[in-house]
Amino acid sequence: MKNIKLMFVAALCGTSLSTFAEIVIKPVRTPSVSTNRPGIIVPGPDGGGVTYEQKQQVIELLDGDVLKGTFVGFDSEGGAKWRHSAVKTDIEFMTDSLSKIRLFPRPYSGAPSDNTRVELVTGEELSGELLEMNNRHLILKAWYSRSTLRIPREKILAIRPATAEAGVIYEGPTGMEGWKSQGVGIRNVQVPVVPGGGRFLNGPVKGLRQPLPGAGLPGAGGAPAIDPITGLPVANQQWLYSNESFVATRSSSLIGRKMKLTDKVNVEFDLNWRGNFNLGISVFADKFDAYSGNSYMVGFSPNDCYLMRMANNVQNNLGRASYQDLRGKTKARISVRINKEAGTIALVLNNRVVKEWEDNAGFAGKGENVSFVLLQNTYVKVSNIRVSQWDGKLPSGEGSKKEGKDLLVMSSAGSLSGELLGILDGKVRFKAAFSPEPLEMTLDTVARINLADAELEKPKLGLGDVRVTFSSGGQFTFLLENWGADRVTGLSTVLGRVEFQPGAFSMLEFNLTKKEGSGSADPFDDF
């Protein structure tokens, strides 16, 4: 990858920039403020007036060039303005040359009520305070928008209300702090075979197989193979943090941390993947290692799952189960629920229990480590991790939705199918099939609402559309018209005209139609 900063050094030395056809630099009016500083001073997104020094931002072009500096502004005709401390005037990049701009905003820390998540049929997500929902639209008060957002009901896939639930042990990730990541290399570990998962040999346990030692690791001349994405040796591959998520690509990459686990605990997260995958969730481990000590590991793929018991460094498989819940999909909400007293561990996919195991030999876990380990080479992303106390109740098993009916999933246990009549003043009115009268409940007792017959659809991208990632999580796509010092304006097919706060975003992605058509996008772009 070329480094644009070298080009500016050449420019300062009198070398002509005419040889660099990839970059268009237009002299513009010298700004009235000093440009020879590492960043601009901007207010935090909480609106409290507190100022801080902006971390250097990054602009990436479609040809792979990268430059640090400060994002000044954007308009649909002039493109993006960029400020660099070694250049006297702002630089203008043409819109059709842009790939990404990473902004590194100050994290938003708002009220719990601001964290209702609205999932759209396009796969996008908006968050805010849910003010009202009727049979036509949902009204969302969002800290990042200059006005309330009116979301058409037919564009909504599901709603995850904000809750003030006690007993939350961990929510994130917001960075690598507190987490340990390592590439533990290929181990002689017993894991079920996964279709398309590579080379395997028959293992010592009936029905299980283990990786061929060293398979796929050596490079030319016996040197370790290099990951083409990260540039790291495969044997040392680790999980990476990016945009409030952990991503991994190589087998046996492990990431984990110590948590204050209770006797009944729920470990849940969103998982995105490409193709086949095999992921292990290690819980109650007394070592930062999924393959030794005392712990449990729930492993699962798009087709099946299993539970591995580790006691005194001895592995024992407690059984497996097959399912079709994840076939043809690339995203799911995963939940592992552990009852230490009862000796049970359950795997829940999209609110459906696919398998519950019981360890009659006594609970083996003796620690408080929770880890994720990738068990085959593939692309996966783990996000929206939430570890909390659990009441010991499992979902009723009604499935993620019923055709023609809304599904209301309760925070405690169970779910109701019927018709969502409305939401107002923090109360939900719901007509259940078993009740002649509408039910009324507070919004904070509801974990999720799936709307009837709503299905994911591929978003239709247009020229000029920009995909933004919010600093509080979630993504959204709209036609970006102008980015100024105090507002971002554009047009959305879902919301109509929008005006956002500049501090709302952690990343902007441009030229989405070009990336979609070329097939050469970053493997994690869809994540």
Residues 280 and 305 in one domain: yes
Least confident of 190-194, 291-295, 370-374, 435-439: 190-194
More confident residue, 480 or 403: 480
How far apart CA 451 and CA 182 sit, in angstroms, is 41
Residues 193 and 274 in one domain: yes
CA neighbours within 13 Å on the CB side: how many for 280? 29
> Is residue 346 included in any domain, yes or no?
yes
For residue 444, give the nearest of 423, 416, 471 by alpha carbon: 423
CA 151, 153, 154, 158 torsion-angle sign = positive
How much is the average pLDDT of 196-206? Answer: 31
Residues 365 and 488 in one domain: no
Residue 440: the pLDDT is 93
Residues 209 and 352 in one domain: yes
Of 363, 389, 415, the residue at which a domain comes to its end is 389
- Asked if residues 182 and 135 have their Cβ atoms less than 8 Å apart, the reply is no
Model confidence over 9-60: pLDDT tens digits? 344 444 443 333 444 444 444 343 333 333 333 444 444 444 556 678 999 9
CA torsion 380-123-93-518 (nearest 10°) is 70
How much is the average pLDDT of 379-407? Answer: 75
Residues 489 and 373 in one domain: no
> Is residue 119 included in any domain, yes or no?
no
> Is residue 113 included in any domain, yes or no?
no
- Asked if residues 235 and 217 have their Cβ atoms less than 8 Å apart, the reply is yes
> Is residue 143 included in any domain, yes or no?
no
> Is residue 394 included in any domain, yes or no?
no
> Is residue 410 included in any domain, yes or no?
yes
Residues 376 and 444 in one domain: no
Residues 61 and 9 in one domain: yes
Residues 226 and 184 in one domain: yes
Least confident of 229-233, 291-295, 430-434: 229-233
- Number of domains present in the structure of the chain: 3
- Domain hosting residue 422, numbered range: 406-450
How far apart CA 140 and CA 131 sit, in angstroms, is 6
Residue 429: the pLDDT is 95
- Which residue, chain included where needed, has tokens 């006594």? 362
* CB burial of residue 494 (10 Å; 0-12, 13-18, 19+): buried
More confident residue, 171 or 391: 171
Residues 383 and 425 in one domain: no
Residues 416 and 382 in one domain: no
Residues 415 and 374 in one domain: no
Please provide the size of the chain in residues: 527
Residue 408: the pLDDT is 86
Q: Count the helix, strand and coil residues of the chain and give each as a percent rounded to the nearest 5.
A: 10, 45, 45
For residue 463, give the nearest of 142, 7, 96 by alpha carbon: 96
Of 450, 475, 502, the residue at which a domain comes to its end is 450
> Is residue 126 included in any domain, yes or no?
no
Residue 153: the pLDDT is 94
Residues 367 and 427 in one domain: no
Q: What is the CATH number of the domain that holds 354?
A: 2.60.120.560
Q: What is the CATH number of the domain that holds 420?
A: 2.30.30
> Is residue 134 included in any domain, yes or no?
no
